Structure 1
Amino acid sequence: MATLSSTLRDYAKIIYPDSAAEQYSPLWSYRAKFVLRAIYYRNAFQYITSSISPLLLETLCKQCPRFLEKSFRPYIINDSSAIERAQFVVQHYQFVSEKLPPHICNEIYTKEYGLTLFDFTVGEIEYAFKLVFHARYQKEGDMSLILFNEIDKNFYTLTFAMRDIEGQRQLVIGGLQGPASSPENNLKIKALTKTLHGQRPKDLMVKIITLIANIWRVDTILAVKSASHAYSAKRYSKGRIKANYDKHWQALGGTEFDKHFYALSMEDIRRNPEDISRPKRAMYRRRYEWLDTVNATLQQKISL
């Protein structure tokens, strides 16, 4: 994509290029629908195209050809208006372009597997926590924290977006996905939990994003409710959301924020050694030492 032209016809060719004719057939129909939707959602569409810097917008369209359609469909929650969706997206990229150091932004949004935060080995499998932008999660946010390995790629994925509400910086979690249940995956999860000093990977994803939120000076972490999730919208088939998000957020101490979100604690809550049974004290000590090391690494890697 050489330039981002101001005409809807050119935008349609960017999103649905001739090379995608087999995937989107008939091509003219997809292009026509895009133009009609862009006209219908004119204010939201123009807000995105005019508020994100041209170079960043070009990068995003390369990574996610249908990026310009974000305001046409549910985003993080299922009942926001097109202009609300556009404002949310723009606020995220204002944070990315104005607050994140350029080299961090570049690695997250241009590399296939994003920015590696830290890595570790479990048995013969090498894992890494990464920050990445993947088009497949675009309805749940605009950045993902992934637990990656070469076999499964994204073993766990937590997708989120940043926004500013009345001067308060929020990190909003729009999705948390793990591997399909199978004997093989269950063994991997068991091995991960043991290596990570008793921390379940699903819980650890939230722990790591909390460390990141503190480094990025976030005021509030919000996590979407099951009934409000983007894929709970009427336009999507029933049963698309299988995870019970509410139960998980509650188990992590989440509290009701509003009809769409739970608020998660920003604090690194640790158990008093006196309250831990003697056989488990050593495990908790190693866990907290590991988390301290991870936090120090993140401070060096992604500080604003």
Structure 2
Amino acid sequence: MFRKAIEKLNIRLDILRQYRSLLQQDFPEPNLKALYKRQSLLLRGLCRIGLLERWHRTAGNPRLTEVLERHPHIRGAIYWPYLHNDWTPERRFEVIDRHYLLLDGPAAILLAAARGKVRLASLRGSGPELRLVLDKPKWFMREGEVVLNLFQEEARLYSVAFALGLEDGKRLAYVGAIQGSNLDQAAEIYRQLTRELHGLRPRDLTILALRMLCDAMGIERLLAVSHKARHHESAFFGNLPEGKIQANYDEIWSEQGGRLLENGFFELPTKISHRDLSKIPSRKRASYRRRYEMLDGLGSQIRAACAGGVLTQ
């Protein structure tokens, strides 16, 4: 019994050393503020040693074990907010753990994205090729486990971060962020692409592609975080500089037919339907027809990718 107690103590000490190393990476500044942050979060970790152990005992979820080896910063969700600012550390672990348990069948493509960029689909117009790409960049680590991006050449024009979940026996996706480009010429690029996309804005195309992806993976519900529930609104970050966050999520999700729920999420439809062309003014009908043909082709590519035709970059 004494030997087992010593072994358990050594395991916990090793976990705490790794946790302390993680804090040092997240708060490396040589000042009192960073020191205070590291020490207070270390104390918080000591108080939640059982949860820390769960992060290090993932043998029952080999996919999460693999991803933690590639992306060890994920464990930071024990102290920083993740996706929804009201989620507890236990809830955050549960969501991340569940996400990787659900990566089977068509959703296996999301595991490939944790290993590297995965091309989901492409569009060709009069300009450079547009690509829909799945990946897992570190700067979205607090908004979801995978990111769907719209690329033009090497420029990341729009990104939406999400994680899969399960509620009441139904598979769902939680959307934690949507972000545009920080290029100086982004507005002009968007205007040009809207013309090439037959009047469809690049942001809307990205969201429609996410809905197509969810449908292809058998996701029954799509929940997008509201503006007030965003992780950036957490007290963890203090007061963000004025103008730091510009996009109003409530407006974006409402435009997409979203309905605000009591839990701080907007529910968006996963199925996509087209307007009856006969009810569209004749002068716009040809443009809408081309748009719908484009979207139908995009949906076919996404379904094919989820069925096993994964193209890595």
Give me the CA root mean square deviation.
2.9
CA distance in 1 between partners of 2:209 and 2:199 (Å)? 15
Residue 294 (structure 2) aligned to one of 290, 294, 300: 290
Return the TM-score normalized by structure 1: 0.84
1:278 lines up with 2:282 in the alignment: yes
The 5 A counterparts of 1:54-203 are 56-57=63-64, 59-96=66-103, 98-99=104-105, 104-105=109-110, 107-111=112-116, 114-152=117-155, 154-180=156-182, 182=184, 184-203=185-204
Note the C-alpha offset of 1:229.
0.4
SS of corresponding position for 1:74: coil
Structure 2 CA distance for partners of 1:259 and 1:206, relative to 1, 3 Å: same
Structure 2 CA distance for partners of 1:235 and 1:105, relative to 1, 3 Å: closer
CA distance in 1 between partners of 2:301 and 2:101 (Å)? 25
Structure 2 CA distance for partners of 1:185 and 1:101, relative to 1, 3 Å: closer
Deviations 1:62-94 (A, max 9, x none): 543421111211111112211111111111111
SS of corresponding position for 2:148: strand
Structure 2 CA distance for partners of 1:255 and 1:33, relative to 1, 3 Å: same
SS of corresponding position for 1:73: coil
Deviations 1:82-135 (A, max 9, x none): 111111111111112x44575x35530111xx1101123455533210111111
Residue 257 (structure 2) aligned to one of 253, 256, 259: 253
CA distance in 1 between partners of 2:245 and 2:275 (Å)? 33
- In terms of mean alpha carbon deviation, does 68-77 or 8-17 score higher? 8-17
2:221 is aligned to 220
CA distance in 1 between partners of 2:166 and 2:59 (Å)? 15
CA distance in 1 between partners of 2:183 and 2:16 (Å)? 44
CA distance in 1 between partners of 2:132 and 2:253 (Å)? 21
**8 Å Cα contact 1:52/1:93 also seen in 2:** no
Deviations 1:5-35 (A, max 9, x none): 8722452476378xx69x8255996876664
Structure 2 CA distance for partners of 1:122 and 1:38, relative to 1, 3 Å: farther
1:36 lines up with 2:43 in the alignment: yes
1:48 is aligned to 55
**8 Å Cα contact 1:95/1:162 also seen in 2:** yes
CA distance in 2 between partners of 1:16 and 1:248 (Å)? 34
**8 Å Cα contact 1:179/1:185 also seen in 2:** yes
1:211 is aligned to 212
CA distance in 1 between partners of 2:65 and 2:21 (Å)? 10
SS of corresponding position for 2:271: coil
**8 Å Cα contact 1:78/1:230 also seen in 2:** yes
Q: How many residues align?
A: 291
CA distance in 1 between partners of 2:105 and 2:59 (Å)? 14
Note the C-alpha offset of 1:157.
0.6
Could you tell me which amino acid in structure 2 is paired with residue 283 of structure 1?
Answer: S
Return the TM-score normalized by structure 2: 0.82
Note the C-alpha offset of 1:273.
1.1
**8 Å Cα contact 1:78/1:233 also seen in 2:** yes
Note the C-alpha offset of 1:45.
2.7
The structure whose Rg is larger is 2
Note the C-alpha offset of 1:53.
5.5
CA distance in 2 between partners of 1:64 and 1:247 (Å)? 33
Which one has more relative contact order, counting CA pairs under 8 Å at least 6 apart?
2
Residue 266 (structure 2) aligned to one of 256, 262, 268: 262
Structure 2 CA distance for partners of 1:295 and 1:73, relative to 1, 3 Å: same
SS of corresponding position for 1:290: helix
CA distance in 1 between partners of 2:129 and 2:59 (Å)? 36
- In terms of mean alpha carbon deviation, does 280-289 or 116-125 score higher? 116-125
**8 Å Cα contact 1:52/1:90 also seen in 2:** no
CA distance in 1 between partners of 2:94 and 2:111 (Å)? 22
